[in-house]
Amino acid sequence: MNNSIKAVLISIGTLLFIIGWWGFIQGNLGWETEDYRFDRVVSLLGIVAGGLLIGSVIRQGSLIRIIELKGILRPFFDVFAAVIVGLIVGAAVMDLFKFDPWLAYSSLFKGAFGDKYGWADTAFNATPLVLTGLTFAIGVRAGLFNIGAQGQMMLGAIAAVGIGSIAMPPGIHHMVTIMVAMMVGALWSLPAAFLKAKRGVHEVISTIMLNFVALWLVRFLALKVFGDPNRAEKTVSVLESTQFSTIIPGADVTHVVWISILAALLVYVVLWHMPLGYAVRSTGLNLDATRYGGMNPNRAMNSAFVLGGMAAGLAGATQIIGRPPVFALYGDLSQIATLGFDGIAVALLGRNHPIGAIFGALFFGALNAGLPLMQIRAQVPLEMVRVIQGVIVIVVSMPELWRLLNIKSHALKLKAAFEKPQKA
């Protein structure tokens, strides 16, 4: 059993143990059943299964193997510690303003995971964040600070509205809408890629400008071209042949969530198991070494821009064809207002790894799903809720930011060390 499999198994075991313990303490897992004894049995089974899974992995090796495993699991421990610190800081802020932190956090957890609808809302909120997180994560792996997901996502959304309004057979309509949205997102990333490769324009400047252009372009198209004649505040709804059905009746989460997960897995395969991904990651670590290895850094960075644009365009499409009940884009773009920028925090929490982006998106999806109940039960005003959320975001993002700064500093030191003998 290799270290990667061990890390995954221990993560699953830990998750089972935590969920089981919480269910046992509460006495009711919230699945609308009156048989609390059944809930407690299921909780105990989760605790036992999680403990056995963790124990079996650890028991396989000696102390030396456990120490080796600790290196593999260090990113998980760093993120877990950051989340705990973020929650503690948030609790301190709430206590400072005379709010009950325990009631607030218990309400947040109950709203996000208290029943199947809470889980559904968490997954619903996480769906686009997985994809915008991938956009930033792919860029970082190539040494880029790509913050263009917001504009690319907006254009992907309006493209989904346009293609979704054209009559096609079901199934084919889904695929065509998704592919066109991804292509539009990728195309909107090309100007930034060109300016970076040919003129050396920093991607932060170019992508911010492109986001601004996309904002007003999409607003114009949403209100003047695709506007609903019966409801002025939104575009026309896409046809039923391209709408994804809900997983749970009465909940908002649709089967488009599986597409987000599949996209993250595909990006992982590309980055870690294909030559293109090797070139992208090598470029992010050391440009000179990439050239020495016979690879083209500009081509790798362009590929990272395009892959990120495709993910962002797909994120926009999910908010049209997978967002009931309107299946449309509001003229003020409120449903996608900050999803592109939120993806930056998701990627940082997930250590800029495609699989990590899934868990990072679930964390932020849970925060968004639990906020209404936190506001109602704990009487925490919306402004304070946003402050708490911001504090948590800052703290949980610090480990990855620190790692990136260390990598950059180390690369500069190596470059200086190699240049000294040449100058002499």
pLDDT of residue 422: 54
Question: What's residue 192's pLDDT?
Answer: 95
How does pLDDT run across 301-350, given as a tens digit for each residue? Answer: 999 999 999 999 999 999 999 999 889 999 889 889 889 999 998 998 88
Q: Alpha helices, DSSP H only, in 142-171?
A: 149-164
> What pLDDT score does 68 carry?
47
The stretches of 27-100 forming alpha helices (DSSP H) are 36-59, 63-96
Query: How high is the pLDDT of residue 142?
Result: 93
| Distance of alpha carbon 220 from alpha carbon 388, whole angstroms | 35
What proportion of the chain, given as a percentage, has pLDDT over 70? 73
What is the per-residue pLDDT for 231?
Answer: 87
φ, ψ dihedrals at 184, nearest 5°: -65, -45
What pLDDT does residue 397 have?
Answer: 66
Where is pLDDT greater, at 397 or 204? Answer: 204
Closest C-alpha among 329, 280, 328 to residue 307: 280
Is residue 373 within 8 A of residue 110, CB to CB? The reply is: yes
- Residue 324: Cβ within 10 Å count: 14
pLDDT in tens, 80-102: 767 777 777 777 888 888 888 88
Write down the pLDDT at residue 32. 44
Query: Distance (Å, rounded) from C-alpha 421 to C-alpha 399?
Result: 35
CA distance 111 to 317: 27
The pLDDT value recorded for residue 349 is 82
Map residue 157 onto helix, strand or coil.
helix
> How high is the pLDDT of residue 308?
96
How confident is the model at residue 31, as a pLDDT?
44
pLDDT: is 258 or 378 the higher one?
258
pLDDT tens by residue, 36-72? 444 555 666 666 666 666 666 655 544 344 444 455 5
What's the CA gap between 157 and 151, in Å, rounded?
Answer: 10
What are 227's strand-pairing partners? 235
Average pLDDT for 244-269: 93
Q: Which structure tokens are listed for 192?
A: 């930034």
| Mean local confidence (pLDDT), 392-404 | 67
Cβ atoms of 342 and 231 within 8 Å: the answer is no
Predicted local distance difference test score (pLDDT) of residue 207: 95
- 2-6, 76-80, 228-232: lowest mean pLDDT where? 2-6
Sign of torsion over alpha carbons 370, 373, 377, 380:
positive
Residue 292: the pLDDT is 86
What mean pLDDT do residues 243-271 have?
93
Find, among 233, 247, 235, the residue nearest to 320 by Cα: 235
Most confident of 176-185, 223-232, 355-364, 405-414: 176-185
> Can you give the pLDDT at residue 97?
82
Which residue intervals of 293-424 are DSSP H helices?
297-321, 339-349, 354-377, 382-423
Model confidence pLDDT, tens digit, residues 110-163? 889 888 899 999 999 999 999 999 999 999 999 999 999 999 999 999 999 999
Q: Check whether 255 has a pLDDT greater than 80.
A: yes
Going by C-beta distance under 8 Å and a sequence separation of 6 or more, which residues neighbour residue 54? 9, 10, 13, 14, 17
The model's pLDDT over 275-306, given as tens digits with 9 standing for 90+, comes to: 999 999 999 888 888 888 889 999 999 999 99
Lowest mean pLDDT among 24-33, 104-113, 356-365: 24-33
| Chain-centre distance for alpha carbon 287 | 27
395 or 308, greater pLDDT = 308
d(CA 410, CA 255): 44
Contact 82, 396 (CB under 8 A): yes
What's the pLDDT at 367? 87
Which pTM value belongs to this model? Answer: 0.78
Q: Per-residue confidence at 216, pLDDT binned at 50, 70, 90?
A: very high
Tell me which of 104-108, 166-170, 391-395 is least confident: 391-395
Out of 4-8, 132-136, 394-398, least confident range? 4-8
Greatest mean pLDDT range, 6-10, 19-23, 152-156, 418-422? 152-156
Quickly list H helices, 165-240.
172-194, 203-220
How is residue 17 written in tokens? 């143990």
